[in-house]
Structure 1
Amino acid sequence: MGTVRRVVSLVPSLTEAVAATAPELLAGATDWCVHPAGLDVPRVRGTKNPDVARIAALAPDLVLANEEENRPADLAALRAAGLAVLVTEVRTLPQAFTELDRVLTAGCGLPRPAWLDEAEEVWRSLRPAFDTTAVVPVWRRPWMVLGRDTFAGDVLARLGVRNAYAGHPERYPRVGIAELNEPGRAGLAVLPDEPYRFTAADGPEAFPRLPAALVSGRHLTWYGPTLAEAPAVLSAALAAAVPAAPPR
C-alpha cells in the first residue's frame, strides 16, 4: 500500500482512534461515529448500510472496517469499487491493542501513538477489583446478552466480573428474562447504554433480585483512546452496584 492520506472509517472506535492520532487523515465516517465531539467529516450512513458510492466518491486510500460491525457484502462492494479495505477482528483486549497498532502503523503509516502505550500500561497494571458473575444484556425486546468470545466480556473479566453466558455457543444469544433471573445464575446485571440504551428507568426493574450496574457502553465496547480510562470508569459504575472484592 502506498502513502495513506485519506481514510474513511466504518467503525466508531477506529474513527476515534484515527482522530486522536492524525485527524487530518479522516475523509469520512459513519453517522454513528460521534467521538470525538464535533467531528466534522463527510458522513457515509451507518455501519450496516454504508453508502458505497459516496465512499468511493471520497477517494480514500484506505477504508477501515471490522468483521463484526460491517457486513461482508458491503466490504466486497467496496473492494469491487477498487478501494483498499482493512478489516479488523477484536474479540479480546490483547487483540484490540494489536489491531489498533496494525491500523495506525501498518495501515495508516503513522508512528505508534503515546495514548496506545498509555492504555496498554493501564490494563497491564490492573488487578481485578471484583469477584462476581453477571448477566450482560445488550438488547431488549427481545432480550439478548453477551455470550462467548466478545471484547466486552473480556474487558469485564479483567475487572473481576465473569460473564454468566461466556460458555454459550452463540456470541449474542437470545435469552428469556425468566432464565436471566434464575436463582444462582448471576450476582449482578450489567446494563450498558449501547447498543440498547439501558437507563435507571429502563432495565433494572427487569432484574428485581439482582443489583444493576448501569455502565458506559462506550467504555465497555469501544477499543480506542477510551481504553486508558475504561478501567476507572467501569469500576466506578460497578462499585455503585456491588462491593469490591478484598485485595488478592
Structure 2
Amino acid sequence: MPSITETLIEAGVDVVARSRFCIHPADRVSSIPSVGGTKDLDVQGLLKSGAEILVLDREENTKPMAEKSPIPIHALHIQSVADLPGSFEGLAHQLGAPGLKEIADRWRSALQVQYPSLLQPPALIQWIEQGEFEQVMYLIWRKPWMAVRADTFIGSMMELCGWPLHDFGFATKYPSLEGLDQIPDNTLLLFSSEPYPFAKHLEDIKALGRPSALVDGESLSWFGVRSLRFLDGLNPNKL
C-alpha cells in the first residue's frame, strides 16, 4: 500500500519490501524490492526480503493475500481520517516505532483544526470549467466513470476541509456510472489526478460543459504523512 510504505519510512521503520505501486519517497523505495501489487503477493520474494511483519489494508488488499502470507500480518482498516490516530498508534505499538506514534499524535491534533476552503492550491491543481454549483462529486476513473461516496477516506478529507461530497444514493462506496448525464447540472465535478490520469484528458472534460476542476489525488487519498503534510499546508495556525 503506497501510503503505508511512505508513512512507515517517514516514521523511521526499516521497510525491507513493498508493493510495485509504492513510489514515494522515490529515493528510498528504488532500493527496496517489490513483492507484488495490491492484489497479489510474491511469497518467495517476501521471505527473501527478511520481513518480519506484513502490513496490509483491508480495503485495498485481499483476504487471499493475508491467508497466503508466510509471516504475521497487521491489517489496517482506514475508512476515515478519524481512524488514523488509533490505527497508527496500534501499529506503532506492534512495531515498536516511536516515530509512527508521533505521526498518530500529529493526526490527532490535525483533526482539531478548522481548515480553509479546499478549492485552492495545493489541493486544487486547476479549474477546468468554472460555474455555479451547489454540490460536489469526486471522480477517480473513466471508462467507466467511477465516483467516490462520502463514507470513504477521500470523503472524510473533503468534509474536514469544508467540501462534503453529496449523497447521490450510491449503493457502493466506489460506484460505476454509465454516464454523467444522471448527475444534476449544479454539481461540481472534481477529477482526481490519480489513479486515472485525468490531467491528460482536460479537453474532453471541458467539453462536458460542467463545473469541473482537477485536484491532487495523492494529497486527498493517501492516508498517512502525505495527506498530513497537505493539511499542515492548509493549517492557518502554521502559516
User: What's the CA shift string for 1:126-161, capped at 9, x where partnerless?
Assistant: 245369521111110000100252100111011111
Q: 1:123 to 1:132 in 2, by over 3 A?
A: farther
Q: Are the aligned partners of 2:88 and 2:101 in contact in 1 as well (CA < 8 Å)? A: no
**Partner residue of 2:155 out of 146, 153, 156:** 153
- Greater RCO, CA 8 A, separation 6+: 2
Measure the CA separation in 1 of the matches of 2:72 and 2:63. Answer: 14
Q: 1:176 to 1:71 in 2, by over 3 A?
A: same
Identity of aligned residues (%): 23
Matches within 5 A, 1:186-205: 186=187, 188-199=188-199, 201-202=201-202, 204-205=205-206
Measure the CA separation in 1 of the matches of 2:160 and 2:47. Answer: 40
Measure the CA separation in 1 of the matches of 2:8 and 2:195. Answer: 22
Structure 1: gaps (5+ residues)? 1-10, 236-248
Structure 2: gaps (5+ residues)? 119-132
Measure the CA separation in 1 of the matches of 2:113 and 2:68. Answer: 43
1:180 Cα offset (Å)? 5.0
Matches within 5 A, 1:1-248: 11-23=1-13, 25-39=14-28, 40-78=31-69, 81=70, 83-103=71-91, 105-111=92-98, 112-127=100-115, 129=117, 133-165=135-167, 167-179=169-181, 181-184=183-186, 186=187, 188-199=188-199, 201-202=201-202, 204-205=205-206, 207-210=208-211, 212-231=212-231
Q: 1:234 to 1:197 in 2, by over 3 A?
A: farther
Q: 1:132 to 1:36 in 2, by over 3 A?
A: farther
1:181 Cα offset (Å)? 4.1
Q: 1:147 to 1:226 in 2, by over 3 A?
A: same
1:96 Cα offset (Å)? 2.1
**TM-score, normalised via structure 2 length:** 0.81
Measure the CA separation in 2 of the matches of 1:196 and 1:17. Answer: 23
User: What's the CA shift string for 1:75-106, capped at 9, x where partnerless?
Assistant: 1111xx3x100001011101022212222x22
Deviates more, 1:150-159 or 1:42-51: 42-51
Measure the CA separation in 1 of the matches of 2:80 and 2:112. Answer: 14
Q: 1:206 to 1:49 in 2, by over 3 A?
A: farther
Q: 1:122 to 1:207 in 2, by over 3 A?
A: farther
Q: 1:114 to 1:178 in 2, by over 3 A?
A: closer
Measure the CA separation in 1 of the matches of 2:195 and 2:201. Answer: 17
User: What's the CA shift string for 1:12-64, capped at 9, x where partnerless?
Assistant: 111111100114x1110011111112122111121112212211232321100
